Amino acid sequence: MNNTDKRAAKHKKAMAKQKASVDAAVEAADRERGVAILLTGNGKGKSSSAFGMVMRALGYGFKVGVIQFIKGEQLSGEEIYLREHCPQVDFYQMGTGFTWDTQDRSGDIAAAKATWAKAKPMLENAEYHLVVLDELTYMLAYDYLPEDEILAALSGRPEAQSVVVTGRGGGSALREIMDTVSDVHEIKHAFKAGIKARAGVDY
Ligand code: ATP
Ligand code: MG
């Protein structure tokens, strides 16, 4: 056997082993229900991953709700696209009232509460296959919304509904109740090398 053949044989054996383990895991996962996903961490990719799932759900014709808990200074591509082309997506953004530097805490809290008032009914409505609560973690981190109420709504949602929460932090109680938690870790970010945020990539 030459080196190429040896390598091919080794690869085949490794793939067979991997297939057996994946098949066993697939076989073991036999429960059918919606999942709660938390995308957290300091790296880029949390919100854009959430919108990737929105696209997947839309591909199957499912009803989707998206709530953004932070008003971006910049209109985002996903907002423009969803508003223009996806009337089947119920999109709501926190809007005015929220300031990053929290100079007006009571105004922020009022905006957070008004936004939560849009999110909560979605988490009670089984028609929504997927609900995205983008940047919700900050509402918990700043103590703008009651943690117990949010956790109860997330846990008590309809069985077939999936929910995606994004944002840094959010606390251990939130992590505890979620089914899937991914920590998006920054290795490097273009912004730190002085490259400006890009339309269609960063927003
Ligand atoms: P994205 O929306 O691109 O998936 P994100 O949701 O993971 O990013 P946020 O903390 O919500 O990250 O920040 C949104 C904006 O900040 C995006 O323009 C993103 O490119 C940028 N950003 C994300 N992570 C970093 C970072 N570590 N350093 C600098 N800018 C970042
Ligand atoms: Mg984000």
pLDDT category, 44, cuts 50, 70, 90?
very high
Percent of the chain with pLDDT over 90: 73
- Note the helical H segments in 60-100: 77-85
Ligand 1 nearest atom to the CA of residue 45, by list position? 4
Is residue 60 exposed (0-12), middle (13-18) or buried (19+ Cβ within 10 Å)?
A: exposed
Q: Which residues line ligand 1 (CB under 6 A)?
A: 42-48, 166, 184, 186, 189, 191, 197, 202-203
pLDDT over 70 at 160, yes or no: yes
To test the pocket of ligand 1, the residue of 39, 42, 44, 53 to mutate (highest count of ligand atoms within 8 Å of its CB) is 44
Whether the predicted pLDDT of 98 surpasses 60: no
Distance of CA 24 from the midpoint of ligand 1 (Å): 36
- Predicted model pTM: 0.89
* High-pLDDT (> 70) share of the chain, %: 95
30 against 153, higher pLDDT: 153
Whole-number average pLDDT of the chain: 92
Q: Two tokens at 138?
A: 């900050």
**Residue 41: nearest ligand to its CA?**
1
Taking a C-beta distance cutoff of 8 angstroms, is the pair 75, 196 a contact?
no
Q: Which of 10-19, 69-78, 192-201 has the highest mean pLDDT?
A: 192-201
Query: What is the per-residue pLDDT for 164?
Result: 98
